[in-house]
Amino acid sequence: MPLTIPKQRWTAEVQTATIGATEAEGGTRTSTVTIGGEQTLPFLHFDGETPNRPVIAMEVLDEQPSGWPEPLAQHYEDVWGDPAAWAQKAVEEFGADLICLRLLSANPDGSDASADQCAETIQSVLKAVGVPLIIWGCGNDEKDNEIMPFCSQAAAGERCVLGSATEDNYKTICASALADNQMIISESPLDINIQKQVNILVTDMGMDLANIILYQVTGGLGYGVEYAYSILERTRLAALDGDRMLQMPMLSIVGSEAWRVKEAWQSEEDAPEWGPLEKRGIIWEAATATLFLHAGTDILVMWHPEAVTRLRDHIDEMMSGESV
C-alpha cells in the first residue's frame, strides 16, 4: 500500500504585493518586485503554489559605518559615504533585487542631517539604480517624523516601502505614504497581537492591505533567532488560515542582526576556538537567513555579497523543486 501524502488544506493565501513603480505606473523604476501569494508554508510544492520567489534586498547606509569587521568592510570601503555608488555596486555587482536604504545620518545624536539632505540622498539613489527602494529613517521617532514626509515626497510615485509604522508611531509615516503612493512597513516587537493592532491602525487611516509589509523584529543566530523564527512561522500559519490582518508578505533584517553577534566579528586572537574570522560572519549571515527563509519570510535584508549569492542560489533551488 503506497503512502497517502498528508496534504494540508489551507483556506487562504498570502497577500501579493508589488514594490516599485515603472514609468508606465507613475514612477521611474526599471524593474519592480512582486512578492507574496504563497498558498503553502515555504517551498512545499506538494501543498500549494509559490507564485513569487522570496527576494534579497541589500542594505545601503547613508554614512560610513563604524566598527565593521574586515571581511565585510572590504567589499564596501570604496563606496562608503556615497550611498548612490553603494547602491549601484549592490545592484550591479552583487545582484540585489532591491535596495534597503537607511538614513542613519539623520540621527540627532550623530550627524543630525536635515530632511533636505535626506531627500537629496534618496533622489541620488533613485537615479543611480533602477530597482525599487525600501527606505528607513534613523530610528529616532521624533526625527524620523520630521524627515519622512520629505523623503517620501522626494520619491513620490515610486512605490517605495517606508519603514516603519509602530504601535506608538504610525500616523506621520502612514500619511506620507498615502499622499505619495508609497508602501509601508508595519512593525511590531515580536508580538502577533501588536502586529495585528498596528495593521488595524494603519488600515483605519486608509492604507490598503496590499501596500503593507510586515516586520516583526529580528534576532541573529545565537542571539534571539529562535523568537523571530517562531513569530514568522506563526504569522504565516495565521495567514494561510485566513487571518486578513496577518496576510501580508514579511521582511527580515538579516545582515545587521547576524553581524551584531559576537561569533560573526570577534577577532581570531580573542576567539581562536571559533575558526577564521573571514569565514565566520558569512556563515553566520547565511545560517540566519536560511532559518528565516524556511520560517516564511519574503524579503531578506542582507549585507555580505557572498552570503547573498549563496542564498540566491538556495532560493533558486527551492523554487525550482517539483511537487513530490
Partner 1 sequence: MALTAMDIYKQLPKTNCGDCGIPTCLAFAMKLAQGQASLDECPHVTEDAIAALEGSSAPPMKTVTIGTGDKALDIGGQTVLFRHEETFRNPCGIAIQVNTSLSEEEMRERITTACNTEFDRVGMIFDLDLIALNDDDGSLPQAAQIATEVSTLPLMLMSDDPESMRGALEVCSEGRPLIYAAGADNFDEMTALAKEFSCPLAIRSQNLDELYELSEKAGEAGLEDLVLDSGARELNAVLQNQTIVERAAINEKIKPMGFPTIGFVVGNNEVEKIISASELIAKYAGIVVTDLLTREALLAMVTARLNIYTDPQKPIQVESGVYEIGEPDATSPVLITTNFSLTYYTVEADTSAGNIDAWVVVVDTDGTSVLTAWAAEDFTPEIIAKTIKECGIEEKVEHRIGVLPGGVAVLSGDLEQESGWNIVVGPRESSAIPTFFKTEYEQRIAGF
Residues that bind ligand B12 (CB under 6 A): 189-191, 194, 217, 219, 223-224, 227, 257
* Alpha-carbon gap, residue 115 to 12, rounded angstroms: 41
φ/ψ of residue 56, rounded to 5: -115, 120
62-77 burial, b if ≥16 CB within 10 A, otherwise e? bbebeebbebbeebbe
Closest CA to 250 of 202, 311, 294, 298: 298
Give alpha helix (H) positions in the chain. Answer: 70-73, 83-92, 115-128, 141-154, 171-180, 192-204, 225-240, 255-260, 262-265, 277-295, 305-320
Quickly list DSSP for 197-242.
HHHHHHHHTT--GGGEEEE----BTTBBHHHHHHHHHHHHHHHHTT
Nearer to partner 1, 162 or 238 (CB): 238
Which residues inside 90-119 make contact with partner 1, applying CB under 8 A? none
Compare residues 244 and 310 and give the one whose CB is closer to partner 1.
Answer: 310
Q: Which stretch binds partner 1 (CB under 8 A): 110-118, 159-167, 172-180, 267-275?
A: 267-275
191 binds, among partner 1, ligand B12, none (CB under 5 to 8 A by kind): ligand B12
Q: Which does 31 bind (CB under 5 to 8 A by kind): ligand B12, partner 1, none?
A: none
Which of ligand B12, partner 1, none sits in contact with 324, Cβ below 5 to 8 A by type? partner 1
Please choose which of partner 1, ligand B12, none residue 306 contacts, taking the beta carbon within 5 to 8 angstroms, the exact cut-off set by kind: partner 1
Q: Could you give the angle at the alpha carbon of 191 between the alpha carbons of 183 and 234, nearest 5°?
A: 90
Cβ neighbour number for residue 312 with a 10 Å cutoff: 20
What, of partner 1, ligand B12, none, does residue 108 touch, CB below 5 to 8 Å by kind? none
Please tell me the distance from the alpha carbon of residue 36 to that of residue 122, in angstroms, as a whole number: 26
Segment interacting with partner 1 (CB under 8 A) among 55-63, 178-186, 193-201, 302-310: 302-310
The residue to which cell 507613475 is assigned: 26
Please provide the size of the chain in residues.
324
Q: Which residue's CB is nearer to ligand B12, number 10 or number 265?
A: 265
Nearest distance from residue 227's CB to ligand B12, in Å? 4
46, 110, 208, 242: residue in contact with partner 1 (rule CB under 8 A): 46
Residue numbers at the binding site for partner 1 (CB under 8 A): 1-6, 8, 41-46, 189, 221-227, 229-230, 233-234, 237, 262-263, 266, 270, 273-276, 279-280, 282-284, 286-287, 290-291, 294-295, 306-307, 310-311, 313-314, 317-318, 320-324
